Amino acid sequence: EVQLLESGGNLVHPGGSLRLSCAASGFTFSSYAMSWVRQAPGKGLEWVSALSGSGGSTHYADSVKGRFTISRDNSKNTLYLQMNSLRAEDTAIYYCAKDPSYFYDGGTYFDYWGQGTLVTVSS
Amino acid sequence: QSVLTQPPSVSGAPGQRVTISCTGSSSNIGAGYDVHWYQQLPGTAPKLLIYGNSNRPSGVPDRFSGSKSGTSASLAITGLQAEDEADYYCQSYDSSLSGSRVFGGGTKVTVL
């Protein structure tokens, strides 16, 4: 059974930093691209970032480019999102999501989602 | 403002059929990119409902069906049940947004 478990969400001041983690199990982690998707309170879904199975190819939404860094440790079956220069508008539940293929293909979908971790940016 | 446009809400009585539209443009749905649908039950994470316009993952009831035509797509729920009350999101790819997958704003389905 595929399981994705996010952690690391917290309350942080504007301009601060936070690192999210997503522990994966139930599948061969290194064989699949992974993404982060966020959902502001009471709002819709927004794709944030993605990377390939090896981690060698990364992609970012314009809203986070230059501030967030996605990475993975395939030896630990864990996905990360380093978030710097946080803003109030980054407040959201952050979900990690699995792709059905090795390479990130913008035209494909998320086949499994974690339960999410809440990031609140406020003074 | 979402790249893909969905109605904020739809409703129907148990057993009825409801449809949710997802309208895009020539840089996403109209360019031939697939549309996928997710169901988000209250307080839970999204779940894949339809992929590749009209395909159901294993375990998804055949009451759910998807279609695509031109710059739009639709999700239909037939034989509406109380447990179908949820938010539904369409998702595609937009070639003008450098690698971004894009979502609709979501549609709340209410079972009367």
pLDDT band with cut points at 50, 70 and 90 for residue B99: confident
CB atoms within 10 A of CB A31: 11
- Paired strand residues for A116: none
| Residue contact A109–B99, C-beta within 8 A | no
Residue B77 burial (C-beta neighbours within 10 Å; 0-12, 13-18, 19+): buried
pLDDT score for B1: 82
- Compute the average pLDDT of residues B32-52: 97
Which 8-state DSSP code applies to residue A91? -
Asked whether A46 and A120 are in contact (CB, 8 A), the reply is: no
Structure confidence at residue A107 (pLDDT): 85
Residues 18-37 of A with CB under 8 A from B: 35, 37
pLDDT recorded at residue A57: 93
Using the Cβ of B44 and the Cβ atoms of chain A, whether some distance falls under 8 Å is answered with: yes
Give the ranges where chain B is alpha helix by DSSP (H).
none
Please tell me the predicted confidence (pLDDT) of residue A105. Answer: 87
Burial of B27 (0-12, 13-18, 19+ CB in 10 A): middle
Q: Which two tokens stand for residue B17?
A: 């059929």
Interchain proximity A106–B101, CB inside 8 Å: yes
CB contact under 8 A, A115 and B89: no
CB contact under 8 A, A106 and B100: yes
Rounded CA gap, A39 and A45, in Å? 5
The alpha carbon of residue A44 is apart from the nearest alpha carbon of chain B, in Å, by: 5
A112 near A22, Cβ under 8 Å?
Answer: no
pLDDT band at A106 (very low <50, low <70, confident <90, very high): confident
The percent of residues in chain B predicted with pLDDT above 90, rounded, is: 93
Closest approach of chain B CAs to the CA of A93, in angstroms? 10
In this prediction, residue B91 carries a pLDDT of 98
What integer best gives the mean pLDDT of chain A?
96
Structure tokens at B54: 């009209």
Tens of pLDDT along A42-80?
A: 999 999 999 999 999 999 999 999 999 999 999 999 999
Token readout for A32 is: 């699949």
Percent of the residues in chain A that have a pLDDT greater than 70, as a whole number:
100
Comparing B51 with B97, which gets the higher pLDDT?
B51
* Whether pLDDT at B39 is above 90: yes
- Is the pLDDT score of B98 beyond 80? no
For residue B76, list its beta bridge partners. Answer: B19, B65
Contact A107 B46 (CB under 8 A): no
